[in-house]
Structure 1
């Protein structure tokens, strides 16, 4: 897992432990202890992945995530793994909506963290080597080369994980994907991502794609099975 990883963690003991485990995986690790330093280091070094604690001094992790996702400096799609002591659904949804790709709730095991990092890096590298393609499913259009989405000619801004989920569904429109299948395609087969993480991303996707998220026309739920992208667009 050779990669350049930025760790933003103000707990020195936790930061040291994360560094040890990631360096054992072959990664080059830089550690900062506050949000302002995280922004400066990310802009200066452009890491392959960021491990980001939510409760950081000066600028909290959620604001760091939001700021990086809004920038056009090559950091808008860098994988971000949030570390959070907050475990409510609202807190997790907020982190995902701001652009985080995955999260770990404290306390966590270092082995689980390294597994999540491996999965995020693998998916990021796979996306970078795929041939460009323009996918159209009804009124939904994805340009995988430019990382752009339009719905009925309306541009829609998605996070990297939202885009990946939508792309997986768009490549086989009408097919029902279980949550486990979405996790395997988007996060990696050895990932410990929870099924509710998929639900959270789908909820955010609907808020962005659908005119009425409560009555989706594009991203449909097949109860007892999973999700599909309607192959004909609107009914």
Structure 2
């Protein structure tokens, strides 16, 4: 954040969670404003204009998914869900509502801090759509020329494979749900068919991963979707 203090709004009705998370974030140099209800949290977000929001799903006055939806009506701030709900449908609903990431309780503070830093870096870089190249591992995706290289060799992707890779590359580190990917690649008029999505993801891994059976970059969030990890943080040319 270029030396500026990072501001975080933390929305959770568990006082002990707020205390522990706040202490960890403040020890890392962040400024934290917390709230115990959804309405208080939305007010804090509107007033403080934070760099990142952390929200629980089980709040006393409204569901955390509603908080995310209301926030998304006027803000693109990164949102991390921190919740005791571990069902896949809860994760999918929160991510489809606009959350960028999802951690289940109990959680490790080092992992939370690492994910916060990753989302702040992505936010600071701006949209990957504005950059000409995205690199991960030995792969370079040239968005301007619509070309993919693995090392120095050109990789031939089908139009659908390319659109899937581009969607993931424009949101590095972020979980994209099956529904989000399907709508972006096949369009809103098509009915979701996640079987096709699995097939094309398998094709991408065969072409781009060193070990398609144990992918390092195009990773599965079980029952939820996919994310692209290991994208280089440096200039993309």
TM-score w.r.t. length of structure 1? 0.64
Partners of 2:80 and 2:100 within 8 A in 1: yes
Aligned to 2:63: 60
Structure 1 stretches lacking a partner, 5+ long: 136-167, 188-196, 229-235
The structure having more radius of gyration, on CA atoms, is 2
CA RMSD of aligned residues (A): 3.6
Task: Please list, as runs of the form range in 1=range in 2, the aligned pairs for 1:151-190 lying within 5 A after superposition.
Answer: 171=143, 172=146, 186-187=172-173
**Aligned partners of 2:207 and 2:79: how far apart in 1?**
25
Aligned to 1:156: none
Partners of 2:10 and 2:54 within 8 A in 1: yes
Question: Which of these residues, 43, 46, 51, is aligned with residue 43 of structure 1?
Answer: 46
Partners of 2:132 and 2:142 within 8 A in 1: no
TM-score w.r.t. length of structure 2? 0.63
1:19 Cα deviation (Å)?
A: 0.5
Secondary structure in 1 matching 2:53: strand
Aligned to 1:205: 181
Aligned to 2:205: 225
Secondary structure in 2 matching 1:38: helix
Number of aligned residue pairs: 177
Partners of 2:82 and 2:105 within 8 A in 1: yes
Q: Deviations over 1:151-188 (max 9, x none)?
A: xxxxxxxxxxxxxxxxx978255557999xx69x712x
Structure 2 stretches lacking a partner, 5+ long: 134-139, 148-155, 209-237
Aligned to 2:26: 23
Aligned to 1:100: 99
Partners of 2:11 and 2:37 within 8 A in 1: yes
Partners of 1:220 and 1:227 within 8 A in 2: no
**Aligned partners of 2:70 and 2:99: how far apart in 1?**
12
Say if 1:26 and 1:226 are closer, same or farther in 2 by CA, change over 3 A: farther
Task: Please list, as runs of the form range in 1=range in 2, the aligned pairs for 1:77-92 lying within 5 A after superposition.
Answer: 77-92=76-91
Secondary structure in 2 matching 1:50: strand
Secondary structure in 1 matching 2:126: helix
Secondary structure in 1 matching 2:180: helix
Partners of 1:84 and 1:104 within 8 A in 2: yes
Runs of 4+ in structure 1 off by over 4 angstroms are 130-135, 172-179
